[in-house]
Structure 1
Amino acid sequence: MTARPLTILALQDSHDYAQGVATHLALSPFPLEERRFEDGEVKIRPLVDVAGHDVHVVQSLHGDGAASVHDRLCRLAFLIACLKDNDAASVTLTAPYLCYARKDRRTQPFDPVTMRYVATMLEAMGVDRVMALEVHNPAAAENAFRRPFIHLETAGLFADHFRGLARDLPVTVVSPDTGGAKRAERFRQALQAAAGRAVDSGFVEKNRSGGFITGGALMGDVKDRAVIILDDMISTGATMVRAARACRLGGARLVHIAATHGLFNGGAATLFSDEVDSVVVTNSVTPVERPPLSDRKLTILDTSPLIAAAIRRLRAGT
């Protein structure tokens, strides 16, 4: 167990989220100066002495109307380097959303492996470890970093939300493609344990090639059941809507959609059609665009207690 002081820092656009994490740790985020010059260059520095501190930089690396992915990533890199220059004992990037996690392998000749490039850049700035929430492929992300990588899952959070539903109706957890089957299975097990009754599983066939998506066959029993379609993120919502339609055609009584990262690019308006009973995401990102009709069907779960608990375990060495 470390006795070094713990410091929570955040850039301006993740300050509210960091405040939630810090509150659960009985702390307040330390202040930063963020100054943007007329030519677009920035200056970022801590306004307190971080020498000898274990610093957690809480930053969600997504793009929205306020800042691009690359703006946030560049400012984060400068902040990490500045903290190390000022003798922080350790710097941990605590990322509710880690950018480029989907680009973790080559799918075409000469493809970049951008996840590895991001890891190399952060390590060059001096990051000591990375803690990230529900990345696309945890094993690939772990392999991209040469520093310790801590992956946090949201299966328990979603299980707590849906446990009442699982007591009222037979439930099937569906992955919208085979690639997410392991993630859906971990959620299925957590929901089964929380509800104290059997929960079935299924998946929807999906093939992507050259920008086109084919397939759509549903594997699993959904007739007269409540279905929860789980994925790591919602971007345009097309994959989730496609899976929801397959479940409705299979006779599902209720269809709920759940994903950790609700990006809602383009508004993802079709998610909130009559085919879907509810959409559940977390506060890991600020949506690019608030979808129409979302107030009626959208639930946003708070992940700051999960992050705070992980920091507490790390400090305790457990």
Structure 2
Amino acid sequence: MVGSMMPGAVAMFALDASRVFGAAVAAALGQPLLRHEERRFADGEHKVRPLDPVRGGDVYVLQSLHGGPDLSADDKLCRLLFFLGAVRDAGAARLTAVVPYLAYARKDRRTQARDPVTTRYVAQLFEAVGVDRVVAVEVHNLVAFQNAFRCPVEHLDTRRLFIDALVNQLPGGPLAVASPDPGGVKRAQLFREMLEARTGRAVEPAFMEKRRSGGVVGGTLLTGQVRDATVIVVDDLIASGGTMVRAAEACRAAGATQVFALAAHGLFVGDAAAALTNPALSTTWVTDTVPPFRLEATVLAGHVQVVSAAPLVARAIARLHGDGSIVDLLGNPG
């Protein structure tokens, strides 16, 4: 039918700011991205619209909401919302926002009087433009993410992704998995359990204390046995890298032989290059949900391993389109 999608087809768009990652997802799906238009006007306003028909389709729109290199997180969010609204108005039967990095996910509660709960406000914006589902990769707080939205959400954790990439590079000897703060203990626990199941080796748990005062993060107390061990410090993101360095230095001081840092999202802001090259850290592993555009090539090549999350996102889209199980895809996360 003219102006409608082919029955049974998956329609996928990637906005310009995430075109490279979106193209990798589309390639893993075995189909091209659909066409769209983005125009910026002289007064700073913009327009985004689909160029291919979407009526009756199962439509997936991808945009990662990190800041830079050319647009802020707010700019990307606004463009994504406007495009989702246009796709809904154009007759999509089912509309899914695929947000590999979800902006404002860290602001999920009030820590001071009259604080905004920005995660919830972002969720309301997605719902206002008619989204049926939101897919995100490794959010900061899973419970807060699930509770913020009234529409269905899918959380793609990266445990299996990293373990598949890392397992053959682990040396013999003791292993430990550490959280850099008490709030990440559950994430580290789930990673440790999957690593034990995959390797058949015992993996010790550990975690760091973390205190914040006046915007300054501190705390050096390490709980757990890491002496003579290879320690994997697991977090959802790396911003300036200070938290990872603090954990790595504590592990080294407690006798760890080497420390790997793992995080889904590498924002690498501020003095991140100095953190990544700190001798306490052996290697830092991230995915490509946020491209490492802020790092010099020498730092990236010598100290960072990038694992593509595009195949994971592609498999999730394929399963959602076929009403399959995301739980089975991720390895039955707890």
For residues 226-263 of structure 1, what are the alpha-carbon distances to aligned partners after superposition, in whole Å with 9 as ceiling and x for unaligned? Answer: 01111000000011100010011001101111100000
Q: Is the 8 A contact 1:257 1:278 kept in 2?
A: yes
The residue type paired with residue 123 of structure 2 is A
Which letter does structure 1 place at the counterpart of 2:306?
A: I
Counterpart for residue 140 of structure 2: 136
SS at match of 1:197: coil
Structure 2 gap segments, 5+ residues each: 1-6, 325-334
Other structure's SS at 2:256 match: coil
2:198 to 188, 194, 208: 194
1:304 matched to 2:304? The reply is no
Match of 2:279 in 1: 274
Deviation at 1:166, TM superposition (A): 4.2
Identity among equivalent positions (%) equals 48
Q: CA deviation at 1:267?
A: 4.4
- Within-5 A mapping of 1:1-318: 4-166=8-170, 168-268=172-272, 269-287=274-292, 289-290=294-295, 293-318=299-324
Q: Deviations over 1:46-85 (max 9, x none)?
A: 1111101111111100101211000000000100000011
Q: Secondary structure at the match of 1:293?
A: helix
> 1:165: Cα distance to partner?
4.1
| 1:293 CA displacement | 2.5
Stretch moving more, 261-270 or 112-121: 261-270
> Partners in 1 of 2:174 and 2:117 — Cα distance?
41
Distance in 2 (CA, whole Å) between partners of 1:166 and 1:259 is: 17
Whole-Å Cα distance in 2 between the matches of residues 84 and 35 of structure 1? 19
Moved over 2 A (4+): 164-167, 291-294
Is the contact between residue 164 and residue 195 of structure 1 (CA under 8 Å) also seen in structure 2?
Answer: no
Q: Which letter maps to 1:279? A: T
> Quick one: which amino acid aligns to residue 309 of structure 1?
R
TM-score (norm: length of structure 1): 0.96
Kept in 1: contact 2:135–2:154 (CA 8 A): yes
TM-score after normalising by structure 2:
0.92
1:82-128 deviation per Cα after TM superposition (whole angstroms, max 9, x unaligned): 00110011110111100100001111111100000001011111111
> Could you tell me how far apart the structure 2 residues matched to 1:267 and 1:35 are?
34
Contact 2:58 2:321 in 1 (8 A): no
In 1, distance between residues paired with 2:45 and 2:8? Answer: 33
Aligned residues: 316
2:110 aligned partner, one-letter code: R
Kept in 1, the 8 Å contact 2:227–2:257? The answer is: yes
Residue 200 of structure 1 and its aligned partner are, at CA, apart by 1.1
Secondary structure, in 3 states, of the residue corresponding to 1:57?
Answer: strand
Q: CA RMSD in A?
A: 1.3
One-letter amino acid of the counterpart of residue 305, structure 1: P
- Contact kept, 8 Å, 1:5 with 1:52, in 2: the verdict is no
CA drift of 1:169 comes to 2.5
Task: Look up the SS of the partner of 2:234 in the other structure.
Answer: strand
The separation in 1 between residues aligned to 2:271 and 2:34, in whole angstroms, is: 34
Q: Does the 8 Å CA contact 2:56/2:93 hold for their aligned counterparts? A: yes
Aligned mates of 2:119, 2:245 — CA distance in 1? 27
Kindly indicate whether the alpha-carbon contact (under 8 Å) linking 1:170 and 1:226 is maintained by their aligned counterparts in 2: yes
Shift in Å, 1:25: 1.2
- The residue type equivalent to 1:315 in the other structure is H
Q: 1:16 aligns to what SS in structure 2?
A: helix
Q: 1:10 & 1:313 partners in 2: Cα distance?
A: 19
Q: Per-residue CA shift, 1:170-205, capped at 9, x if unaligned?
A: 110010001001011111111112212111110011
Q: Which residues of structure 1 form unaligned runs of 5+?
A: none
